[in-house]
Amino acid sequence: MTDNHRQALISVYDKTGVVELARRLVALKWEIISSGGTSDALANASVPVTPVEQITGAPEILNGRVKTIHPTIHGGLLADLSNPSHIKDLHDRGIVPIDLVVCNLYPFSSEPSVELIDIGGPAMVRAAAKNHQRVGVVTQSADYDTVLEELERNDVLSDATRKRLAQIAYTHTSTYDAEIANWLADAKDEQLPPTVTLTLKRQDVLRYGENPHQQGALYRIAGGSSWWDEARQLQGKAMSYLNVLDTDAAWRLAHSLGSNPAAVIIKHANPCGAAIADYATTAYQRAHECDPMSAFGGIVAVNRPVTTDMAEAMTDTFIEVLVAPELKQDALALLAKKKNLRILHAPAPEATKWELRTLGDAALMKTPDTVTLDRSTWQVVTKKTPTDEQWVDLEMAWSVAAHVSSNCIVLVKDLQAVGIGAGQQNRRDAGMLAAQKAAGRATGGACASDAFFPFRDGLDAAAKAGCAAVIQPGGSIRDQEVIDAANEHNIAMVFTGERHFHH
């Protein structure tokens, strides 16, 4: 091979920028080989191109399933030109080395099917990446300009560039294979399959990790779709690790509280305020009233557009992050005065298939904790039955409790959380903390416990706080003792049969 006979093989599904790329390569005296739709696109743009079948002598077959899988192509990609036997093989078979591959794959995750499983593309990419000591491989259009500028400047790609491109290429093919493997696993309807193949792509470098001396980044699962993909930060400093963690918790809780206007305040991964109301501003104000001291520096999520009234209600409070589906322009202008406030405009959160937690080089995986609000599956175990108003408070308290670190007690009155006791090692202390925060506001309201009361003292604490109805899973060996205590206090109690520990 001589410098004036360099071959580039271009075969892409996403043709963004490919015509300009090919034109600039031709201007540098490169010969372009291409297949299928890419070849047609280049020819239609009057770019000199040699169809692959002209090189191989074998037309594509099987409706395009076989195009580039041929010794002439892969020999040209894999040949080590420092190896005399490789040179002889090329010469004996009339194979010309290929120096550059530009290839991206069928978008399998867009509409998973057998016909979108690319075979020839990954084979070419892997072959070129394996031989990166000589061959450049480009799998993303974002690298077109960088590659072209280096070729125009130096006539060749540096070792470092080829190695970087090879790493990107193998990530590209491994991600693609992971999408297919996970699709096949999903087809077997296994919630926790024997093997889970994940490729994580860094989406954003965060301001810092859990603490300022730690690094942090947000990654997305390749082939998946997260609400974070479409979230847009409208103002404020860069997000930190905890900002992201707490914002996600707030956004998911806000969307779990039903279709009416709702507001949630999260601090250190736990709700310190939640409310449902006829108007979003009212919901925010009532959420803030739950625990104003803890709300300082919290994350606010509302499931309705932020209006000027709501923005005005926020002006006297330090908020780390505000996330909403929309912000009215007047509200945004008012909040712009809070320079450090991070504001996110975001779509509703996606449903999760499973949750993953790393343990060093091991991992725990579980299915998501879905909260059931089907009264027909619940059991009233006391003489007294909840009133209509108490039922809706019980449902809200139960929904919020599932998002609070265990052990927890949540007190709700008139669709407003008034006391939240979170993350206590015993349930009695969680109840005492919730009652202390409620400060009498739970009278006539509902109490939710994320797990059963092991002793009657938890129920007695709910009665002392003024609660008129209690919801809990049941299942303790002392259930009858707790039921008797509820009847003594003339409290209605509901067993759900479903625990909601949260760690």
DSSP code of 303?
S
Respond yes or no: is residue 5 known to be catalytic: no
Respond yes or no: is residue 500 known to be catalytic: no
Q: Under a CB-based contact definition with an 8 Å cutoff, are residues 95 and 79 in contact?
A: yes
Give the Cα-Cα-Cα angle 306, 307, 308 (nearest 5 degrees).
130
Q: Under a CB-based contact definition with an 8 Å cutoff, are residues 5 and 157 in contact?
A: no
Q: Under a CB-based contact definition with an 8 Å cutoff, are residues 136 and 100 in contact?
A: yes
Residues facing residue 297 across a β-bridge: none
Q: Under a CB-based contact definition with an 8 Å cutoff, are residues 256 and 400 in contact?
A: no
Q: How far apart are CA 492 and CA 474, in angstroms?
A: 14
Q: List the one residue out of 382, 453, 441, 385 whose CA is nearest residue 412.
A: 441
Phi and psi angles of residue 391, each rounded to the nearest 5 degrees, phi first: -60, -45
Full DSSP string of 120-179: HHHHHHHHHHHTTTT-EEE-SGGGHHHHHHHHHHHSS--HHHHHHHHHHHHHHHHHHHHH
Q: Under a CB-based contact definition with an 8 Å cutoff, are residues 101 and 126 in contact?
A: no
User: Which residues are CB-neighbours of 40 under 8 A, at least 6 positions away?
Assistant: none
DSSP code of 212?
T
Number of H-type helices and E-type strands within the chain: 18, 21
Q: How far apart are CA 253 and CA 158, in angstroms?
A: 50
Q: Which of 74, 86, 130, 255 is catalytic?
A: 130
Q: How far apart are CA 118 and CA 141, in angstroms?
A: 18
Full DSSP string of 430-453: HHHHHHHHHTTTTTT-EEEESS--
Q: Which of 15, 70, 255, 268 is catalytic?
A: 268
Catalytic residues: 130, 268
